[in-house]
């Protein structure tokens, strides 16, 4: 395969999937991982991809209609803040614990922080599950359900019924908005799955970057006072800190 042909094929694969790991790309293109890395370095310099630990996320050509996911678009937003939040949240997880990871870009960054830890992880997120495919220390459990393609999450009655059968020490989840003590998300099915997860966890940890404060979305998830811990970044304002304190949540500011 010529270099130009290989790189064109690589761009097509990533534009369609939104994200992948180096091992899969190497196998499909029938080249070494070092060759894939060099091609990805070139694509990253062109602003087409963003490299992650062991993988890559497509961020270029956002008008390309062949891409099924909005997930990778959101991965390019508030990156530094989400990483700070993920590092702070990872400190709340002890080895050997069972945790619920809801789908989302901030929880995806948390999943990256948790790689190599001895854990039992239940998730409805295909991008998060993909991070642990080759991690022998993690016992990975997928909920099953109907795939919601824009976000790569499994939702609907089958997912909810499965969630009802599990119990976790901690749930980590995110929202589209937090306004006057009320939590919101963009989709009714997302909210229904998250509400089930909240019922099945001893501790509920909300990962919420500062841009989500004072925002609303379609579906009402619940009240801030139902959350045990809120992890955010340092751009949170004094009035927002006061709102979290008034709700009785523990506030953790990453940085």
Please give the Cα distance from 13 to 1 (Å, whole number).
Answer: 16
133: how many CB neighbours lie within 10 A of its CB? 11
What per-residue confidence (pLDDT) applies to 63? 45
List the domains of the chain with CATH numbers: 3-67 (1.10.10.10), 79-253 (3.40.50.1360)
Query: What is the pLDDT at residue 71?
Result: 66
Q: What pLDDT does residue 21 have?
A: 77
Give me the residues of the chain with pLDDT under 70, please.
1, 16-19, 54, 61-77
pLDDT at 5: 80
pLDDT in tens, 51-90: 877 678 777 754 444 443 466 666 666 788 999 999 999 9
The reported pTM is: 0.74
Beta bridge partners of 204: 171
């Amino acid at each position: 395969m010529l270099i130009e042909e290989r790189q064109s094929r690589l761009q097509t694969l990533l534009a369609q999937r939104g994200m992948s790991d180096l091992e899969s790309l190497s196998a499909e293109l029938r080249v070494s991982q070092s060759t894939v890395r060099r091609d990805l370095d070139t694509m990253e310099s062109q602003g087409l991809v963003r490299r992650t630990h062991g993988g890559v996320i497509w961020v270029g050509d956002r008008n390309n209609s062949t891409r099924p996911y909005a997930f990778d678009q959101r991965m390019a937003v508030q990156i530094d803040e989400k990483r700070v939040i993920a590092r702070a949240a990872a400190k709340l997880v002890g080895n050997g614990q069972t945790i619920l990871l809801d789908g989302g870009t901030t929880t995806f960054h948390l999943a990256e922080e948790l790689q190599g830890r001895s854990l039992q992880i239940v998730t409805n997120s295909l991008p998060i599950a993909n991070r642990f495919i080759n991690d022998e220390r993690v016992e990975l459990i997928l909920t099953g359900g109907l795939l919601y393609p824009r976000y790569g999450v499994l939702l609907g009655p089958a997912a909810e019924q499965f969630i009802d059968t599990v119990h976790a020490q901690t749930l980590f989840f995110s929202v589209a908005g937090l306004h006057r003590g009320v939590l919101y998300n963009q989709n009714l099915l997302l909210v229904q799955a998250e509400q089930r997860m909240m019922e099945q966890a001893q501790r509920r940890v909300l990962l919420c970057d500062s841009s989500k404060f004072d925002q609303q979305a379609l579906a009402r998830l619940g009240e801030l006072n139902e959350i045990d811990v809120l992890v955010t970044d340092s751009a949170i304002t004094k009035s927002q800190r006061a709102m979290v304190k008034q709700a009785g949540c523990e506030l953790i500011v990453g940085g």
